Amino acid sequence: MRRIPIVLAVLLASALLPPLPATAGEPPSVKIENNATQPVFSRADAILQTVYVEVAGTDSDHDGQNDRVAVDILRPKETDQGLRVPTIMEASPYYAGIDFTVPNHVVDVDENGNPLPSLLAAEATPRSFAFDGYYDNFFLPRGYAIALVENLGSGRATGCPTAGDVNETAGPKAAVDWLNGRARGFDAAGAPVSAFWSTGSVGMIGTSYNGTLPNAVAATGVEGLKTIVPIAAISSWYDYYRANGGVVAPGGYQGEDVDVLAKAVLTRDGKEICRPVMDRLTATQDRVTGDYSAFWDARNYLNDVSKVRASVFVVHGLNDWNVKTKQFSQWWERIRTPKKIWLHMSGHRDPWTLRTQEWFRQLHAWFDKWLYGLDTGIDREPAADVESAPGVWGQHRSWPLPGAVPVHLWPSSGARLGLLPRPLSPRESYVDQKSRTAEQLVASAPAADPNRLAWLTAPLPTDVRVSGTPSVSIRAAVKSGASPYLSAFLVDFGTDARPTGGSVLTGETYCYGESVPDDSGCLGLRRHALAEAPFKIVTRGWTDVRNRHSDSRTEPIRAGRDYTFRWDLQPNDYVFKKGHRIGLMITSTDRDFTLRYPEGTTVEVTPGLSSIVLPVVLGRIT
């Protein structure tokens, strides 16, 4: 689906008129066969209109006026002849593009966590985002309207972006309200516009930020939002930019934070009015302690998960290090409405090009079920679709896979990791550095390395499948130095061709919907990109040792004193193959994710009092 063109001055006259009576017979209706909507309406003849929806009670730019969002709508022409349809909505701050000139924060810091001035803006990285898709070609002919919402502070909207708090949620929520007759909408000339064609039933869908907004709106409990499909979506912004008291970046965007993202999507006219709002974000996000605070609590949708009325179809990549897997796992675990989940082996993406026909089948059945009330049977299918090898999918009752058993693995001398604790194993130490990546540190294991510790199991006698959230307990003393981080890595040692998180074209084409000029309704099918390597970091996790009791409270530690530090790694579903070895690596600085304090922090670990716990559903480790 190509971006709907901006309509500012003139709208199609038919979009502003009340519904016309049918000239003969019954008014047009949706065609249903085999409990599924059928493609009978013309995408080419669809009505395009833009409505500016008032966000009542929200004045994020403090100009004394309620904010407004711009909503581009594409709907069957028969909606002007009495047909009423539900709406598939995608809200986004990206439709007007990104300000690539906004620099990321410096991540090389002094011993107190303050940025080193000489490196200011050294980590700036441009982003790019695509907005083509399939909603209009596939769903509009089946009797759906498509609505794209330009969120606060972006494009033609007013207000200011605030990255995840109640103001930003209010924008797409107001669009849902307008579709239900509870909010005011206007055309470009200021004339009132109603959604006379809407049934009031809305489904929200999107990827990344666009997938996060459905979570946010659903957590308000707004009436009319019947279902959401959050893909690679955030459930808590703290867990996007922080982890267990430490500043931790989204993968690929080292140095990004709330203020950087807000400035990047601030693309409205007159953006200078938002400077005080941007300054407040910078002042209150706290990149020194990394503590959970009221700032982050206001951006935590888990607080209001009990308000969710909508059904939820969660989709996430198991190799997504941008929006990490904790985001989907904690949301999925707490949702109490009807729910379904897809977990694929790619990275930060929509999976529709990887398992295309099945994706369309299930998504079509899902929207038909929740927006048309059809008995499609999708709610009686297994709840979890999980990809366990490239192109190999299994359906399961739930996720984590039923039957997972916690298995403790204990480090010991000789770089060994086993099922029995070895409390008399001698202490081991490393000296932190910040120039080598985690992958570079892992590469030489099990050989000793002065900058990390690593322990490996014996070769596995069977395949071992892990499903859920691994955790570590590390008995350690920070002997000296400035870095407060401990970073843990679960590693698969064994040469294999594994998914990289990217994809490559197969050379095949699949046509899914009606073709219109500049939009064929077809796509090139893709498969996972594979790379052969002697190891893979399966998952990782971080903690700030000063937050050993709470992620909201920094407490100094005593140099040289032993403490027990416990934290989770990112959830995953992964098969370690027979003959491979499971490894645990511990270090401090994770160059691609954490702040980089001065080198030289010395950490001493007691292996015999440390362990990693894996949720194992299949296989034997020894």
Catalytic residue numbers, as ranges? 208, 320, 348
The C-alpha atoms of residue 219 and residue 448 are separated, in whole angstroms, by: 49
Q: Please, are residues 317 and 344 in contact by the beta-carbon 8 Å criterion?
A: yes
The C-alpha atoms of residue 422 and residue 416 are separated, in whole angstroms, by: 10
Q: Please, are residues 437 and 487 in contact by the beta-carbon 8 Å criterion?
A: no
The C-alpha atoms of residue 557 and residue 563 are separated, in whole angstroms, by: 9
Q: Is 208 helix (H, G, I), strand (E, B) or coil?
A: coil
The Cα angle at residue 522 between residues 226 and 144, in degrees rounded to 5: 25
Structure tokens at 43: 């995408």
The C-alpha atoms of residue 325 and residue 468 are separated, in whole angstroms, by: 10
Kindly tell me the number of DSSP H helices and DSSP E strands found in the chain.
10, 29
Q: Which of 197, 101, 188 is CA-nearest to residue 143?
A: 197
Residues 6+ apart with CB under 8 A from 461: 578, 620, 622
What are the phi and psi torsion angles at 272 (to 5°)?
Answer: -60, -30
**Which residues does residue 129 pair with via DSSP β-bridges, in sequence order?**
none
Question: How would you write 357-388 as a 3-class SS string?
Answer: HHHHHHHHHHHHHHHHCCCCCHHHCCCEEEEE
Structure tokens at 580: 């491979």
**Per this entry, what is the length of the chain?**
622
Structure tokens at 221: 């409990």
Helix pair angle (209-218, 166-179), 10° resolution? 70
Residues 6+ apart with CB under 8 A from 28: 22, 78, 81, 82, 83
Segment (H or E) for 86:
strand 85-92
Q: How far, in Å, are 100, 118, 214, 325, 383 from residue 314 at the CA level? A: 30, 43, 11, 11, 10
The C-alpha atoms of residue 223 and residue 236 are separated, in whole angstroms, by: 23
Q: Which of 490, 488, 468 is CA-nearest to residue 476?
A: 488
The C-alpha atoms of residue 106 and residue 575 are separated, in whole angstroms, by: 37
Burial 52-75 (b: 16+ CB within 10 A, else e): bbbbeebebbeeeebbbbbbbbbb
The C-alpha atoms of residue 150 and residue 165 are separated, in whole angstroms, by: 16
Structure tokens at 283: 């002042």
Q: Please, are residues 584 and 442 in contact by the beta-carbon 8 Å criterion?
A: no
Cis, peptide link before residue 214, omega less than 30° from 0: no
Q: Please, are residues 76 and 26 in contact by the beta-carbon 8 Å criterion?
A: no
